[in-house]
Structure 1
Amino acid sequence: MKEFILGLEGLNCASCASKIEKLTNEIDGVDNATIDFVTKRLRVNIVEEDRLKGIIEEIKNIVKRLEPDVKVVEEGHDHQYSHDHDHGDIGRKGIIKIIISGILFVIPWLLKLDGIPRLTIYLAAYIIIGMEIIIRAIKNLFAGQPFDENFLMTVATLGAFAIGEYPEGVAVMLFYQVGEFFQGLAVNHSRKSISSLVDIRPDYANLEKNEEITVVNPQDVHIGDYIIVKPGEKIPLDGVVVQGKSSVDTSNITGESVPRTINTGDMVLSGFVNREGLLKVEVKKEFQDSTVSKILDLVENASSKKAPTENFITKFARYYTPVVVFTALAIGLIPPLFLGHDISDWAYRAFVFLVISCPCALVISIPLGFFGGIGGASKAGVLIKGGNYLEGLNEVDTIVFDKTGTITKGTFKVTGVDSYGETTTEEIVELAALGESYSNHPIGKSIVEAYGKEIDKTRVSNYREIAGKGIEAEIDSNKVLIGNKKLFEDNNIRVEEKESIGTIVYVGKNGAHIGTIVVSDELKENVIKDIKNIKSEEIKNTIMLSGDKKETAIKVGELVGIDKVYGDLLPQDKVKIFEKILKETKGKVAFVGDGVNDAPVLARADIGIAMGALGSDAAIEASDIVIMTDEIGKIAIGMKIAKNTKRIVTQNIVFALGVKLIVLVLGAFGVATMWEAVFADVGVSIIAILNSIRALKIQ
C-alpha cells in the first residue's frame, strides 16, 4: 500500500471537489481517496506502486474535465499551505464583467425600453456575465456530470429568458456571480484563518559551520549540526542547547503563554520562539522528524478521518441535487401537460427549484467547521487526529485515567523517614541508599537522590533483587532487607506497619525492622480542579487504573475525586479491566495515559488520549488525541472545543436545510421568486461559511 498527495490549486467548487473524490475512488488500483476542500489536497492510497504514474494521469484527466482551471501539483511529505490567489475566485476581470453587466441590467428599467431593444440589452448583459458558466455547463454535460451548479444555473436562467422573464434571468446569473465572489472571499478567509493557527513552520535555520553562519532551509540541516537561534526567531529543529541561556515562548506547541527558562543542556523543540538570549543548539532530529513537522502533519492530515456528520453530508449531497432536479422537472411538466395549467407559471416555479438545488452551503461549511475546531484545538496544545475523534468527544461519558504520569507527576521523592530503636533517620536513608545503589527502579533512585552523597559500593556485597518484593544485600557485613511487607514476612520479621498514600519501603537489619521510608509520587498541580472541570463536561464516570498497591491507589483516587479505582494491576490486567469497562458502558470510553507504557489500552479505547507527549513518537502513534503538556485540564478544553464545533455544524445544517426547504415549498406554491432562490443558494452558503469560522475560537 502506498500513499501520495496531490495539491489542487484553485479548487473552490465544493461540489466539484466531491465529484473528484468520488471518481478517483472509482479508478482501478485506488484503495481509498479523500479530498480536503479546506487545504485543497487529495490524499490517495493505491494498492500497487507500479500503477502510480498511470493513476496520477487519470486523476489529472478527471480534474481537467471537471475543473479546467485547477492545477494539479504532486506533493512530497513536506509541504506548506498555499496562500496563493486562486483562479477559482472572481478576479479583476470578473469584477469588471459584474460591473458592466450590472450597468446594462438597469438601463432598460431607467430608459423604460420595450421590445427588441429591451431583449437585446438584457441578452448582452446575460452573455457578458454568464457565458463562462454556460461553456462550463456544456463541457460538464458532455463529460457525463450534468448535476452541477453551472448546469443548473444555465438551465434556470435560459428558462427564464424562454418564458419572457429577461430581468430575472440576468438578475439570477448576476447575483449568483456576486454571491460566488463573496463565497470565494469567505472560503479563503476561513482557509487563511485556519492556516495562521498552525503557521508554526520555521522559514530558515542559521547553520554554524567552521565558525561561519549560513542561512539555510531547515530541511538542509542534519543531526549533529549546530544552529544559532537569535532573539525573536523560531527554533527551527529539535535539539539540545550547548551554549547560552534564554526565555522561550512555547505557546505555538503547548498552547501555554507562560515563558519557559532555558539553560545549557536543556532540550528545545522546533516551533518554540526564542525571546531573549542567543542560543547555540545541537540538532537531535531531522526536520521531517521534528516536533513542528509532526504537529503540522497531524493537523493537516486530520481531515482524512472524516466525522460521521461529514460523511452523512457527502452522501446526502449526492442524492439531494438529483432529487430536487427531478422534482423541478415534475413541477414544470405535470401541471401544464396533465392539468392544463399555464406552462410559463409552472416552468418558472421549476426554475426556482433548480437554483436552490446545489448543496454548496453544507458541502463547504461542514468540513470548514471541523477543520476550524481541529485548528483551534491544536493552538490550545490539544492535537486531534481527525474530525471523527473531535465529534466522538461529544459522546464520551466515561474517562479512564492511568495514575503515574497522568494524575501524578511520575517523579518519586522521599517524603518521610521513621526510625526505630537507636538507629537515626540519617542512618536509615544511608543504609537504604547503599542497598538501592544497584537498582534502576524509580523508587530506588529517589532514595539514592534523597541521600545526596557519594556512595561507596564496595560496602555492598551479595546484592540480590527479589521480584515484586525488594532487595536483599550485605552492607558492612550486616544482612539488610529493603522492600515491602511480603519481603519481611518471607524472612519472619515483624514490621511496624504504616499508612500513607505514598509507597512504603521497610528497612531491616540483622533480622529486625529498624526503619520505614515513605516515597511519594506527587500529585500534579491543579489536578483536583482539573478532574472537577472534566466531570462538568457531562462525564458520568471517572475511573483510575494503577499498578500501585490498592490501598494507595484508592487514597489517591479519593483525594482527587475519581469515582472508581483499580489497584495492584499488571499491564495485562489493565487491558482486561478496560475491556470490561467498555462492555459495561453505553457511551464512548476515553483512556488517558502517558502514551508509552499504556499503548495497548490507548489503542483499544474508543478515544485514546496521550498525556504530556511533547516530542514522544510512541504517544503520537498510539493515541487519537495528543495533549502536548502534562495538564489533564486540557482534556476539558478539548471537550469544550468539540461541543462548540458540533453546535456550529448543527446550526449550519439546520439553517441551510431549513432555508432551502422553506424556499422550495414557497417556490412550489408560486410565492418565492428567483431572488429568494439565489439567497437560498449563495446567500445561505456565505452565512454558513462565516459561521464556521467561529469554530476557530479557543475556549
Structure 2
Amino acid sequence: MESANETVKRELLLEGLDCTNCAAKIEKGVGKIDGIASCTVNFVTQTLTVQADIAREEELVSQAVKTVTQLEPHVRAKVKARRIAASPVAAAAEKELGSASTEEKTAGAACCGGHSHDHADHNPGHSHAHDHGHAHGGHVHEEAHPHQHGREHSGHRHDHGHAAASEDEAHAEGHEGHSHDHGQGRTTKLVMRLAAGAALSAAGYWLGLPGWAELMLFLAAYLVIGGDVVLQAVKNIGRGQVFDEYFLMSVATVGAFAIGEYPEGVAVMFFYQVGELFQGIAVNRSRKSISSLMDIRPDYANLQAGDGIRRVAPEEVAIGDLIIVKPGEKVPLDGKVVSGRSAVDTSALTGESLPREVEPGSGVLSGFMNKNGVLTVEVTKEFGESTVSKILELVEHASSKKAPTEKFVTKFARYYTPVVVIVALLLAVVPPLVISGATFSEWIYRALVFLVISCPCALVISIPLGFFGGIGAASRAGILVKGSNYLEALNDVQYVVFDKTGTLTKGAFAVTGIYPEGQRSKEELLRNAAYAELHSNHPIAESVRAAYGKPIDESRLEDYNEISGHGVEVRFDGQSVLAGNARLMEREGLTFAAPPEAGTIIHMAIGGSYAGYLVISDEVKDDAAEAIRQLKQLGIKRTVMLTGDARAVAESVGRQLGVDEVHAELLPQHKVEQLERLEQQKSAKEKTIFVGDGINDTPVLARADVGIAMGGLGSDAAIEAADIVIMTDEPSKIATAIHIAKQTRRIVWQNIGFALGVKALFLLLGAFGIATMWEAVFSDVGVTLLAVLNAMRVLRLRDYA
C-alpha cells in the first residue's frame, strides 16, 4: 500500500544473504507488511531498502527485521542509515514554490536512492518521473550522515576503511538452519563436520557391520554433514516454503536412505555441502571484486583547525572548512584548491589514465587521488552531497532496477522447480504401474536424481552477479549506469541522438580561424581585434582576448565607440580600427567576399581598408568524430544531431563529424518532436539514445528510451536527469557503454544456455537411469560454481574493442 503520510526510507544490512532465492523471499515477505510502501532487496550489496510510514517507523522496521528472521533464520538484519521523505501535500507545496517536480512512482521502482529516474522499462506509452532528489512523492531530507558505506559484508570486508566485524563476530549469535555464508569461522566448522562425516561414512562402508549398525553409522554421518539442511527444510515447510534447495536435497537424500542407498545418500549431501562451500567462496570473491571497482570512499580527512591538523571522518567536515590532502591520499570531499599544486589521479571516477594538474582555483572532487604535492582545499559540499557519495549510492542501488533477463530468470525459477518436483513424483509412481518388470525402488531412485538436478541455483545466482559486474565495469570506465535494465537496453539501440553544444562540441566559444587580407599577418589581425574588443563583456569578445593571450595596454586605445547592432570603432596606435559584423562593413562602404566558414564572423577594417576576418565557433571535441565512427562500427543505424544553433554552423559540424542527420534552430520542445518522429520510424524492439548535457535537455532525456548525460562529473542536475551518466566529456564513452552491455549480455546468456543445457541433459539421463546421484550433484553445485566464475569475467570489461 502507498502511505498518504510522511514516509521514511530505511536500509537494513542482511548479513549472511548469499542466496538469491532467499533474497526474493525476503523482498516478497517484507513487501506484504501493512505500512511498507515499497521494498527492494539488493542481493549483491546485501541490503534491504524499505519505504515506510513514518508514524509507525520503529514498529515497521521491527516487523521487517522479524519477518527476515522468520523467513531466513540464518540471515541477520541490521538497521542502517535513515532518510525522511515529506508527505505528498508538502511536496505539492514545494512544487508550487518552484522546487523540482515530483511524480508518483510505481512500487516496482521504489527505493532506488534519492536521485530516482524511472522509465518504466521504456514501454510504449511509458511515463517518466524526474525526482531531482525527491523520492516517491516527497522530498528526501538527509538526517545525520546518510551515506554511511561502512557495511560489513559476510565473507569479506566492504567497509572501505572502517572497522568491520570479524567473521566470528558476525556469527557469534546462533544461526538456525543452513547458512549460505562461508566466512572463515563457518568454513572451519563446516570442514571439520565434513571430515568427521566422511570418517564415519568410510567406517560404515569398510567395516562390514551388521545391517542395523551400518545404518546407524551412515545415519550419524548424514546428520553430522547435512543435519542443518534437513532442519532448515522442515522449518521452511512449516512456513509454507516447500520448493527450495533445502527441500530438494532433503527429499533426495532421505529417499536414498529409504531405498537402502545409504552411501549415496551421505555422499550426495557431502558433495552438496562441498559445492555450497566453494559456491559461497566464489560469490563472496565476486562481490569483493565488484566492490573493489568502486573502492573510492575516502577513509578520513585532514581538517585544518586553529590548533593544527586533526584527522577526522569525512562526515565531520563542514562547508567552508579547510582540509589538507597529502601525496598518496584520496581527496575526501568536493572542494576548491586554495594553495598548492599537484597532479591528481582521476581514474577511479572517470576512467582517465592521465593525471590531471590542479592549482589554486582548480576544483577537485572526492575520490581523486593526490599524486605528489600537498594541497589545501576549501570544502564546497558536505560529504553526503559529495561526488563520491552520489556515485557510491547510484552504483549500490543500480541492481534494484532489474533487467528483463533477470525478471525472466526469477519468474522461470518460480515455476520451474515445482514443475520438476511434480514430474519427479510422476516418474517415481507411473512407470512401475504401467511398465512390466519396473520396480518402485529403481524409479524412486531416478526421481530422486531428478530432484537433485532440478535446483536452478546457477541461474538465479550468476545472472544478477553478471549484470552487477557489468555495471561495476562501466563505473570503472567512467560510465554510471543507474540500473541493469538500462544496461540491457543498450543492446537494442539503433538510433543515437546527440545535442550539439557541450556534447559533441566543447560548449565554449574560441577563435577557430584567422583570415587576414593583403599583406597583413594573422598576429596583427588578432592583436587589433583584441584591442578593439577590450571593453566588451560579450563571450565572443572574451574568446578573442583569450586567443590573443597577451597583456593589453589600454593607453594605446582612444575614441572607443560601440555601434549598436554592428560592432565597435576605436583608434589603436593612432589608426582607425573597425570590428563587427557584415552590416558594419557595408555601412562603411567596404567591399569583401562572403566567408565560406561556418560560425560567428568578426570582420576587421584597419586604416579605412578591409583587413580580413576572424571565425569564432564552438570547438568540436577531440574524440567526437571517433565516437560517431565507433557507433557506426557497432551497427547503429542512424546518428542524429539536434541543436538550437544556426543551420550553417550545425551542418558544418555535422559534415565534420559524419553525423547522418542534422536538425538546427530547434527549441527544447522541437527536440522532443524530432525524437518522437524517430520513435515512429523504429520498430518496437529498437531503442533510441539521447545524449545531452543533462541540464537544458531534460525533456528529451526523459522521452528517449535511454537518456545519457554527457560531462556529468560533479553535476547534480546531470546525475539526477539521466539513466546513464558519462563522467567525462568524451562522447566515445557511449560506444564503450554499448560494448560493455553487449559483452555482459553475451556472458549472461552463456550462463543461461550452459545451465539449462547441462540440466536438460542430466534430467534426461536421470529419467532414463543413466545418471546417478554423483552426476546429479555436479549438475547442481558444479554448474552453479562454473556459472559464477564465468559471471566474474564481466569485471574485466572496460575498453571498447
TM-score, shorter chain, exceeding 0.5:
yes
AA aligned opposite 2:79: E
Q: Give the stretch that moved more between structures: 499-508 or 88-97.
A: 499-508
SS at match of 1:91: helix
**Residues 488 and 745, structure 2, Cα contact 8 Å, conserved in 1:** yes
1:379 aligns with 2:449: no
- Change in Cα spacing, 1:264 to 1:432, as seen in structure 2 (3 Å) is closer
- Give me the whole-angstrom Cα distance separating, in 2, the residues matched to 1:435 and 1:471: 13
1:629 aligns with 2:728: yes
- Change in Cα spacing, 1:304 to 1:486, as seen in structure 2 (3 Å) is farther
Counterpart selection for 1:210 from 306, 310, 322: 306
Which residue is equivalent to 2:152? 82
SS at match of 2:41: strand
- Change in Cα spacing, 1:139 to 1:412, as seen in structure 2 (3 Å) is same
1:530 aligns with 2:627: yes
Which residue is equivalent to 2:25? 19
1:73 aligns with 2:78: yes
Which residue is equivalent to 1:336? 432
- Change in Cα spacing, 1:415 to 1:93, as seen in structure 2 (3 Å) is closer
Which residue is equivalent to 1:651? 750
Name structure 2 gaps, 5 residues minimum. Answer: 1-6, 82-145, 156-166, 172-180
- Give me the whole-angstrom Cα distance separating, in 1, the residues matched to 2:462 and 2:212: 43
- Give me the whole-angstrom Cα distance separating, in 2, the residues matched to 1:486 and 1:654: 70
- Change in Cα spacing, 1:8 to 1:507, as seen in structure 2 (3 Å) is same
Which residue is equivalent to 1:614? 713
Q: Give the stretch that moved more between structures: 68-77 or 448-457.
A: 448-457
Deviations 1:520-572 (A, max 9, x none): 32222233233212221121211112233222222222222212222222333
- Change in Cα spacing, 1:394 to 1:454, as seen in structure 2 (3 Å) is farther
Which residue is equivalent to 2:297? 201
AA aligned opposite 2:400: S
Which residue is equivalent to 1:303? 399
- Change in Cα spacing, 1:119 to 1:266, as seen in structure 2 (3 Å) is same
- Give me the whole-angstrom Cα distance separating, in 1, the residues matched to 2:352 and 2:526: 42
Counterpart selection for 1:360 from 435, 457, 474: 457
**Residues 432 and 507, structure 1, Cα contact 8 Å, conserved in 2:** no
**Residues 373 and 641, structure 1, Cα contact 8 Å, conserved in 2:** yes
- Give me the whole-angstrom Cα distance separating, in 2, the residues matched to 1:490 and 1:176: 92
Which residue is equivalent to 2:107? none
Deviation at 1:2, TM superposition (A): 4.3
- Give me the whole-angstrom Cα distance separating, in 1, the residues matched to 2:481 and 2:520: 55
Deviations 1:496-542 (A, max 9, x none): 41111333244689999875331132222233233212221121211
- Give me the whole-angstrom Cα distance separating, in 2, the residues matched to 1:695 and 1:427: 56
Counterpart selection for 1:138 from 230, 234, 242: 234
- Change in Cα spacing, 1:31 to 1:485, as seen in structure 2 (3 Å) is farther
Deviation at 1:480, TM superposition (A): 11
Deviations 1:1-57 (A, max 9, x none): 5432221011122211111112222222333322111111112234x3323333322
- Give me the whole-angstrom Cα distance separating, in 2, the residues matched to 1:495 and 1:378: 53
Which residue is equivalent to 1:467? none
Which residue is equivalent to 2:689? 590
**Residues 239 and 282, structure 1, Cα contact 8 Å, conserved in 2:** yes
Deviation at 1:684, TM superposition (A): 0.9
Q: Give the stretch that moved more between structures: 451-460 or 589-598.
A: 451-460
Output aligned runs, 1:169-184, within 5 Å.
169-184=265-280
Output aligned runs, 1:136-285, within 5 Å.
136-285=232-381
Aligned residues: 692
**Residues 532 and 578, structure 2, Cα contact 8 Å, conserved in 1:** no
- Give me the whole-angstrom Cα distance separating, in 1, the residues matched to 2:222 and 2:479: 51
SS at match of 2:310: strand
1:666 aligns with 2:765: yes
- Give me the whole-angstrom Cα distance separating, in 2, the residues matched to 1:305 and 1:455: 61
SS at match of 2:286: helix
Which residue is equivalent to 1:98? 194
- Change in Cα spacing, 1:115 to 1:83, as seen in structure 2 (3 Å) is same
AA aligned opposite 1:57: S
AA aligned opposite 2:774: W
**Residues 299 and 314, structure 2, Cα contact 8 Å, conserved in 1:** yes
Identity score, percent: 53
Counterpart selection for 1:49 from 39, 50, 54: 54
SS at match of 2:694: coil
**Residues 433 and 447, structure 1, Cα contact 8 Å, conserved in 2:** no
- Give me the whole-angstrom Cα distance separating, in 1, the residues matched to 2:508 and 2:320: 30
**Residues 532 and 569, structure 2, Cα contact 8 Å, conserved in 1:** no
- Change in Cα spacing, 1:175 to 1:421, as seen in structure 2 (3 Å) is closer
- Change in Cα spacing, 1:460 to 1:15, as seen in structure 2 (3 Å) is same
Counterpart selection for 1:504 from 588, 601, 604: 601
Which residue is equivalent to 2:63? 58
AA aligned opposite 1:99: A
**Residues 472 and 480, structure 1, Cα contact 8 Å, conserved in 2:** no
1:568 aligns with 2:665: yes
Name structure 1 gaps, 5 residues minimum. Answer: 465-469
- Change in Cα spacing, 1:459 to 1:24, as seen in structure 2 (3 Å) is farther
Which residue is equivalent to 2:178? none
SS at match of 1:590: strand
CA RMSD across the alignment: 3.0
Give the TM-score, by structure 2 length.
Answer: 0.81
AA aligned opposite 1:326: I
- Change in Cα spacing, 1:132 to 1:421, as seen in structure 2 (3 Å) is closer
AA aligned opposite 2:48: L
Deviation at 1:350, TM superposition (A): 1.6
AA aligned opposite 1:186: A
- Give me the whole-angstrom Cα distance separating, in 2, the residues matched to 1:206 and 1:182: 42
